[in-house]
Amino acid sequence: MTFKVTARFFTTLREITGKKEEPVEFSKTATINSLLKQLSKKYGKDFDDYMFDEIGDVRGHLQILVNGKSITATGGLKTKLKEGDQVAILPPVGGG
C-alpha cells in the first residue's frame, strides 16, 4: 500500500524545481530524510547545493515544517510522515 505526502517549495527551491509543490509517493514508512533523498535524486545538484552543506547536513538557515509544525519539535530528519502530510521547506526569514 502506498501513500503520498506533498512537498511545498518556496523562493529558490521553487525556481530549482519549477513547481510550488509536488506529491511524493512512498511504499513503506517515510521520514523527512527519505523525502529529501527522493527529491534530491529527482532534482540533482542544484537542489543538493541549496539544501545541504558540505558534510551533507541540512543547511541551518532552512526551516522544515510538517503540517505547520517545525521538525525541530518532532524528531528532526527522523520525523515520520503519513498519508496527506504537507512538508514545507522554508527559506530564511529576513527582518530588521
pLDDT digits over 8-46, tens only? 999 999 999 999 999 999 998 999 999 999 999 999 999
Give 48-74 pLDDT, tens digit per residue. 999 999 999 999 999 999 999 999 999
Strand partners, 21: 8
* Cβ-contact 40, 47 below 8 angstroms: yes
What's the number of CA atoms in the CB half-sphere (13 Å) around residue 54? 0
pTM: 0.92
Contact 7, 22 (CB under 8 A): yes
- For the chain, domains (ranges, CATH) are 3-90 (3.10.20.30)
